[in-house]
Amino acid sequence: MRNSGILPYRPEVAARSFPVFRGMVSDKMAAFVIKGSAFLAIASLILIFIFIGKEALPMFTSSEVQQEAGLSKLFLPQPAHPGEAAQFTWQPISETPKYSLLPLLAGTLKVTIIAVLIAIPLAVAAALYTSEFAPSWARETIKPCIEMLAGIPSVVVGFFCLMVIASWLQTAFGLTFRLNALTAGIGLSLAVIPIVYTVSEDAFSSVPQAFREGSVAMGATSWQTASRVVLPAAMPGVLASCILGFGRAIGETMIVLMASGNAAVLSWSPAESVRTFSATIAAELGELVQGSPHYHVLFFIGAFLFILTFVINLAGRWWVGKLQKKLQGAA
């Protein structure tokens, strides 16, 4: 080496090139800040729960709110006027406000079930095809399509239902109401398809290749392999996809707000207008006096939606985890 002699020690240079002390301080600070922000995800989930719960709490504590919208008024039939027959009615803005949640529950279930019934068979079948049979060019076509579908903002889907699908359905079936549970359900299924597809496709492709090879070696056709080996093996993942899709459908707001007609009618006909929980919040929160019983009822519905989707997600993730464990044990 050319420069083999000992270099003269120059502390100012040493301090510049090896800022050890400064490095340690910034390291401690960075660790603190980074750790802190990681807690934020947990904290925000808890904050959401607390602050929605806080606004829903007067439902149970304030006598004034209870008098107008107590739990019995929410769930039991109430007479519209004294002396008349008791009914389930959601009519918060009237002389005697009526807060029966039953029409909303029925509406939510109706729309969600229609959406799920359309979306799950389509999405699971498409996922099975993509994972088991599709040539690679087909896979390269369907996957971006699903991503595009997932990328369409829900307000655009709502708009499309309102403008196009509603008219199609009305002419096709001769419906009285343009906006009804069927329109909203079809629109909602567009939001559910991507999540069901993605999760079940993941489940199918995580089935070890050896399963398929074993099945084909025993003389099974590719359909037999897909339906009797891959599908059962991936079942927990497929179930998870259905549950997560259901959770997505229950919480989706803009599509149902725009396409369902928003009439809180208690009926099981898919051709009638419906009003869902989420659409009720979206439609009514804007024009409210803060702190009125109506305001608290909407937050109560919000808290219910939050807890419901929380549980649904936990269940879905649990099933995905179960699938992974099962396949890891098998592979």
Partner 1 sequence: MSSDWMKRTKFAGALSQGLTAFACLIIIAIVVIIMGNIVSHGVQKISWEFLSAPPRDHFTKGGIFPAIFGTAALVILMTIAVIPLGVATAVYMYEYAPKRSRLVQLVRLAIQNLAGVPAIVFGLFGVGFFIEFVGRGLDKGLYGGRLVYGQPAIIWSALTMALLTLPTVVVATEEALRAIPNNYREVAYSLGATRWQMIRKVVLPQAAGGILTGGILAVSRGSGEVAPVMFTGAAYSLPHLPTQLHHQFMELGYHVYVMSTQAFDVEATKPALYSTVMVLLMLTFLLNFTAVMIRARIRKKLRDGR
Q: Residues 218 to 237: which contact partner 1 by CB under 8 A?
A: 221-224, 226-227
Cα(98)–Cα(90) distance, rounded to whole angstroms? 5
- Minimum distance, C-beta of residue 185 to partner 1, in the bound complex (Å): 14
Among 314, 325, 328, 331, binds partner 1 (CB under 8 A): 314
Nearest to 286 by CA among 259, 266, 257: 257
User: On the CB side of 256, how many CA atoms lie within 13 Å of its CA?
Assistant: 34
3-state secondary structure of 61: helix
Contact 101, 301 (CB under 8 A): yes
Q: Find the part of the chain contacting partner 1 (CB under 8 A) among 67-75, 90-98, 99-107, 121-129.
A: 121-129
Q: How far apart are CA 272 and CA 179, in angstroms?
A: 8
Which listed residue (86, 138, 210, 218) binds partner 1 by CB under 8 A?
A: 138
The only residue of 62, 66, 78, 159 in contact with partner 1, by rule CB under 8 A: 159
Nearer to partner 1, 26 or 96 (CB): 26
Whole-number minimum distance, CB 85 to partner 1, in Å?
34
Task: State which of residues 60, 76, 133, 269 lies at the interface with partner 1 (CB under 8 A).
Answer: 133
Stretch that binds partner 1, among 71-79, 91-99, 105-113, 299-307 (CB under 8 A): 299-307
- Minimum CB distance to partner 1, residue 223 (Å): 3
155 residue type, one letter = V
**Dist CA 38 CA 44 (whole Å):** 11
Backbone φ and ψ of 261, nearest 5°? 90, -25
Nearer to partner 1, 115 or 281 (CB): 281
